[in-house]
Structure 1
Amino acid sequence: MAARSLGCSLSTLHKTCAKHGVTFNQLLMETRLSVAAAMLGRSSDRISEIAYACGFTSLPHFCRQFKARYKVSPRQMRDWYVVKKEGKSKDQVLTCLELMLR
């Protein structure tokens, strides 16, 4: 379906990804996680709704993949965005990040 949407064959899609050192599944996962991270920062939607909107069918799987990629949970990422939006001082943001990384 992705190849068709891009107007190329499945073979071309896989070869293009391979030429850049990634598989299509890796590219798809990175894209989904990037979109989810952005949505956590600008949306008040529930984390489960964001996960499903980004193509994940399992919330636990989404949370594991997200934490593996960003080293923080989706909840921690959202909390960081809230602190940042509230205009907290640099020290407060660093304290928040330190707590998240424990």
Structure 2
Amino acid sequence: MIATGDAYKDQVQRQWNHDPAGSHYVTVAPAHTQEWFLEAEHYRYGSYAPWMAETMEFDRHNCEKLLEIGGGMGTDLAQFARHGARVTDVDLSAGHLRLARENFAV
């Protein structure tokens, strides 16, 4: 964790580093594997928010630069990247940034 000097921001970091957004929906695949990230993705776009792909227009940003603030595990960012966007993630949680990097690496 990177101490910010702001109690609220530090608490947010502790929470998300301990319980990364979306990770609690992954119940089968071993953590930090490609299957783990794909299971999280399947839940997100299949059960949790089936409307999201159309609303976010993942496939309409080929060759565009895209900044996501609060990218979590990188699930949405990966969708944009798969469709050709050049993506950047900014997140208060160092744990989320590590997970997003892992997501892109597997």
- Structure holding more helix per residue: 1
Same fold (TM over 0.5): no
Instruction: Output the TM-score relative to the length of structure 1.
Output: 0.26
| Bigger strand share | 2
Larger Rg: 1
